[in-house]
Amino acid sequence: MFPDKPGVAWMLYLPLEITAQQVPEAAALVPMAGRDGRRRGTVVLSVIGEAFDGDNPRHIEAAANIDIRMVDQDLMPCYSDLWPTA
């Protein structure tokens, strides 16, 4: 949907703390912690209880709505922000 940014599709890990208030379209937000117990990011899920199907219009719409919400709130980094060149 946004060529310079990763898309959610079924799931996406981002090194950000994301809340349900920020992205209510997400089916689930799973906080991830490092070995030290500190929060390191969030896994965003567009579909739970079934496998994501790229041919299912409901799944595609869910992922697109999450992508749009996250881009609108500047929560979706560009690829270049995630993996800067050396």
**Closest of 61, 72, 60, 23 to residue 43, by C-alpha:** 23
The count of other CB atoms within 10 Å of the CB of residue 42 is 23
Domain boundaries, the chain: 11-77
Between 32 and 79, the higher pLDDT residue: 32
The region of weakest confidence among 42-46, 70-74, 76-80 is 76-80
Cα angle at 42 between 64 and 68, to 5 degrees?
20
The pLDDT assigned to 78 comes to 82
The one-character DSSP state at 68 is H
The one-character DSSP state at 10 is T
Give per-residue pLDDT as tens, 3-62: 777 777 888 998 889 999 999 999 999 999 989 999 999 999 999 999 999 999 999 999
> Phi then psi for 61, rounded to 5 degrees?
-65, -40
pTM to 2 decimals? 0.82
